[in-house]
Amino acid sequence: MITADLFRDPSDRTTPIRLGEGASLLPGFACDRAEAVFAALEEVLRQAPLRRMRTPGGHVMTVAMTCCGDRGWTSDADGYRYAARDPASGRPWPPMPEVFAELATDAASAAGYPAFVPDTCLINRYVAEAKLSPHQDRDERDLSHPIVSLSLGLPARFQFGGRHRSERLLRTTLEHGDVVVWGGASRLAYHGVLPLATGRHPMTGDCRYNLSFRRAG
Ligand code: MD3
Ligand code: FE
């Protein structure tokens, strides 16, 4: 068997599910604040519009991205990095909304990482067929901080493995309101998102958003 589905009881929206060493799925953790988070997201997107970035290898990503907070992740022909300004506008990234930071701190705490304070949020938007190939996130200065990830809108098939690309990938579905906290040994796990299936969600329409809260500086 190449991949395996993780057991989920759809009626259980409270118990953390262990995805790996240091990684917890909190099903529906953000459902009750999704409306407030989405309103704040729309305001951020007005100030720093989503854009499809170019990879150092010369491809244009299918996922559209933007950021908020003290710095933001960007990619272009020169490589990947965190920068204090939005290269599209030359202005600082929009400030991180309080509802974002509070959600990230609360989720990290529920997963066993007390006092997590993000300094950036990377916002990904997937439309049908958009995907993210397996990769590691290692551009942050101190990899002892976890990453907190929130899914909004259409569901996605998410895959994750180990610290080496050769390790077997497991799959799970990330749904609207789900939060995953990645720390410890899972912080350097390879992970990716399979091409998004067409659909419609009452909050987001034909797309999925993923917000990942990080401490990059
Ligand atoms: C596992 N985003 O932006 S979030 C990314 O759904 C990214 O948009 C995906 O991977 C998305 O870099 C997945 C879940 C996630 C985020 C960071 C991780 C999983 C992670 C870091 C280490 C291990
Ligand atoms: Fe990632």
Enclosing domain of residue 67? 3-214
The finding on whether 212 has its CB within 6 A of some atom of ligand 1 is: yes
Query: Across all residues in the chain, what is the average pLDDT?
Result: 94
Q: Which amino acid is at 8?
A: R
| Residue-level pLDDT at 1 | 35
CA of 70 to the centre of ligand 1 (A): 20
**pLDDT by residue (tens digit) across 99-148?**
999 999 999 999 999 999 999 999 999 999 999 999 999 999 999 999 99
**Number of folded domains in the chain?**
1
Report which bound ligand comes closest to the CA of 180: 1
Please write the tens of the pLDDT for every residue from 7-49: 555 555 568 999 999 999 999 999 999 999 999 999 999 999 9
Give the count of beta carbons closer than 10 Å to the beta carbon of residue 210. Answer: 23
Global pTM? 0.94
Q: For residue 193, what is the domain's CATH number?
A: 2.60.120.590
Q: What is the pLDDT of residue 26?
A: 97
pLDDT (mean) for 155-177: 97
What's the gap in Å between 127 CA and the centre of ligand 1?
Answer: 17
Sign of CA dihedral 40, 44, 49, 55: negative
Q: What distance in angstroms lies between residue 3's CA and the mean position of ligand 1's atoms? A: 18
